[in-house]
Chains A and B, each alone.
Chain A
Amino acid sequence: MHIAVCIKQTPDSAANMVVENGAATWGDAPMVVNPWDEYALEEAIRTKEQHGGQVTALVMGPESAREALKTAIAMGCDSGVMLSDETLASCDARMTARVLASAIEKLDDVELAIFGKQAIDGDTGLVPVSVACALGWTALSYVAEVNEVDVDNARISVARSLEEGRQNCTGTLPAVISVVKEINEPRYPSFIGIRKASKAEIPVWDLAELGLDVAEMKAGGAAVIWSDMRPLSARSGAVDFIEGESMEVIAATLADRLMADKVI
C-alpha cells in the first residue's frame, strides 16, 4: 500500500521564543521535525514493514524544511516531496489542508495518510481532519493504537485516545489518521538511512503544480489572520517563599494562603 505521512518543521521544543518586530523568533535554536510527527513517521514505516508498499513523506514549508524530509527518509520513508510556494507564507489550517490534500491526490494511489495530532507551533490540531474532509476520506483523529490494517477489505481498526478514555473503532480506507504519543516509540535514523537521505532527490511542488491558487483559497476573506504576537505578561511579583520553624508551620501558612486565594 502507498502511505503518505505529512510532517511539519517547527522550532525545537526547548527553544526560547521571543518576539522581534511583531514576529516570533527562536534565536539559534534548531528547527526539528515537529515532535508529534515523529510518531506519525514511525507508524507509517511500521505499517509499510508489515504490509509492504511505500511511504512518501510530505512537508509544506520553505526550502529549509527539506531537512525534515531528510530526517523522514533517514528513518525509513522511501521518498519525500516538498510543498513550497512563496505565496504560502502565513496560510491557515484550512489552506494548509487544501495543499496537503491536493498533494495526496497527486500521489494518486495513497490509501492511508498519517499525521501527528498537532504541530507544536500553531497547536491547532485542525489539519488532519480538514485534509480528510477535503479528500472525502475517513477521518480518525487521536489514534493511540492501530489494531489492524486490512488492505484487501479496505478497513482499518484503531483505538482513539479521547478525554474519557479509549474508543475502539473501525473505518474504511482510504483514511486520514492523526496519532498521539502513546502509539509507538519512534526509531532513530539509521546510518544507511542517513546516507540514503543525503542522496535522495526531493522534488518541489508549487501551487501551480498542485492546481491551486492562493487568491482563490483566500476568497471571501475567510482566512485566519495572526496579529499582535507578544510575550506573555510576566506574573506580577516574585515567588513568596513560605518559611517557618517546622514543616507543620509551613504547611499551615501555605494552607491559609491557598484558602485566602480561594483555590481550595
Chain B
Amino acid sequence: MASDVWVYVDQFQGNALPAAWETLGAAGEVAADLNTGVAALVFGHDVDELAQQAADYGADKVFLCDDATLADFRVQAFGCAAAKLAAAEKPQVIFAPATTRGRDLTALLGVELGIGVVADGIALQVEDGVLQVTRPVYAGKLHATVSAPGAHPQIVTLRPRAFPRPEPTAGSAEVVQVEAVLAEEDISVKVVDYSASASDVSLTDASIIVSGGRGVGGPEGFEPVRQLAVALGAAMGASRAAVDAGWIPYSHQVGQTGKTVSPDLYIACGISGAIQHQAGMRTAKVIVAINKDAEAPIFKLAKYGVVADLFDAVPVLTDEFTRRLGE
C-alpha cells in the first residue's frame, strides 16, 4: 500500500514533541479515509530511535534523513530536503504540528511547491478527498472551516493538544533513507548555542495549567499559585495584567499576545477573564475559576467556580491535591 499521508515528526535534540505523535495519530485516521498509509518524515542527526518510535506510533513508512547538517532544525536545510522528496514522491497530504518548526517548515514547503498552507487545525474531516479543517481565527474568538481543494499535496498544520496522542504499540515500518539536499556551506544560518527556558513545564504542552492574574497583587503573590502548580505537576501561566505589572516574566503569559494553550485543566486564580485572556485559554477542557468577584467574566467560561479570595482558597487546594495525589 502506498503511504501518501505524510507527517513531519517535529523533534528537538532527538526528542519528539508530543504534538508530533498527536499529529501522527490524526494522520492515521485521514489516511484510512483516503485508503492509504502514513509516512513519517524523520529528519535530524542520530535519530534512528525516532524512526522506531514513529513506527510505534503508527507510521507505515519512515523517510529517514540523518545528516550532520540536520542536527539543529534550520528551515532552509529541512525544507529543501522535504520539498525535494515531496516533489518526487507526490504525497496527497503533508501534516506538521503547528509548532515553531512545523510552521516554518510548512511555510517553506508552500512556497517551494506553490501551494497554500492550511494552518492551525483543531478538527479534521475528509470530504471527497479534500481535508476540511476547523481552525480558530481572530485569536480563537471565531472558528472557520479552511481547505485547499485543488492542492496536491494538501499541506496542513495541527495545533498541539488538539488531537489525542495515540497509545504506542510495538510497530514496524519500512525505512527509506533520504539524502540531505544542502551542504553545510549552502546553509545561511549557523546555530551557536541554546539557553534553557526559565519555566520547567512548557505551557503549550502542559496538561494542567495554574494561572495567576491581577488578583495575586504582586510578585510574591505568585508563590501560592506556584505551589499549587507544583502540587499538580502543572505549568504556571499568567494574565497580561500580571505580566505588564512586571510580577512574572512574559514567557508565562497566556492570551492573545501571549501563548495559546489547550490543557485538560486550567485553574485561573484571581483572573477576571478579559477577552484577550479568554482567547488564549478557552479551549481548555475544564476551567476552574477562583475569584472574589462572582460577576467576573471568567465564570462564564468556567465549569467550576469558587468565589473566594485566592489567598484563602489556593493554599487549601494545594494541601487537598497534595494529599489526594499522594494517595
Contacts and interface: CB of A to CB of B under 8 A. Distances in A.
A92 B107 CA distance: 11
A99 to B, nearest CB: 13
Interface string B169-203: 00000000000000000001111111111000010
A125 B142 contact: no
B32 interface: no
A168 B112 contact: no
A220 B153 CA distance: 11
B211 interface: no
B317 A251 contact: yes
A126 B193 contact: no
Nearest to B79: A133
Contacts of A210: none
Interface stretch (A78-86, A191-199, A225-233): A225-233
A229 B142 contact: yes
A93 interface: yes
A232 B138 CA distance: 11
Q: Size class of B's contact patch?
A: 35 or more
Interface stretch (B39-47, B48-56, B218-226, B281-289): B281-289
A89 interface: no
Interface string A214-232: 0000011111111111111
A13 B138 CA distance: 9
A152 interface: no
Contacts of A95: 116
A261 B286 CA distance: 8
Contact of B305 (A15, A19, A235, A242): A242
B199 to A, nearest CB: 9
Nearest to B104: A129
Nearest to B266: A263
Interface in B280-327: 282, 285-286, 288-289, 294, 299-308, 312-313, 316-317, 319-321, 324-325
A28 interface: no
A229 B189 contact: no
A128 B100 CA distance: 12
Nearest to B111: A133
Contacts of B279: 13
B276 interface: yes
A166 B195 contact: yes
A141 B190 contact: no
Contacts of A172: 188
Given A94-B115, A126-B110, A164-B12, A169 B190 contact: yes
Interface stretch (B21-29, B59-67, B86-94, B144-152): B144-152
A248 B324 CA distance: 13
Contacts of B12: 162-164
B69 interface: no
A263 B286 contact: yes
A1 interface: no
Interface in A6-25: 11, 13-17, 19, 24
Contacts of A151: none
A76 interface: no
A208 interface: no
A231 B140 CA distance: 9
A230 B143 contact: yes
B189 A140 contact: yes
Nearest to B313: A247
B166 interface: no
Contacts of A126: 103, 106-107, 110, 117, 119
26 contacts: A17-B138, A19-B142, A93-B110, A94-B115, A97-B107, A125-B119, A126-B119, A130-B111, A141-B100, A165-B196, A166-B194, A169-B192, A171-B188, A181-B250, A181-B253, A220-B115, A222-B152, A228-B144, A239-B289, A241-B299, A250-B316, A251-B319, A255-B320, A261-B286, A263-B286, A264-B321
Interface of A: 11, 13-17, 19, 24, 35-36, 92-95, 97, 120-130, 133-134, 138-142, 157, 159, 161-172, 175, 181-182, 219-232, 235, 237, 239-242, 247-248, 250-252, 254-255, 257-259, 261, 263-264
Given A242-B304, A250-B316, A263-B286, 6 more contacts: A93-B107, A130-B111, A162-B100, A163-B12, A169-B192, A227-B144
Interface of B: 12-13, 17, 72, 75-76, 79, 99-101, 103-104, 106-108, 110-112, 114-120, 136-152, 188-197, 202, 204-205, 207-208, 232, 250-251, 253, 256-258, 264-265, 274-276, 279, 282, 285-286, 288-289, 294, 299-308, 312-313, 316-317, 319-321, 324-325
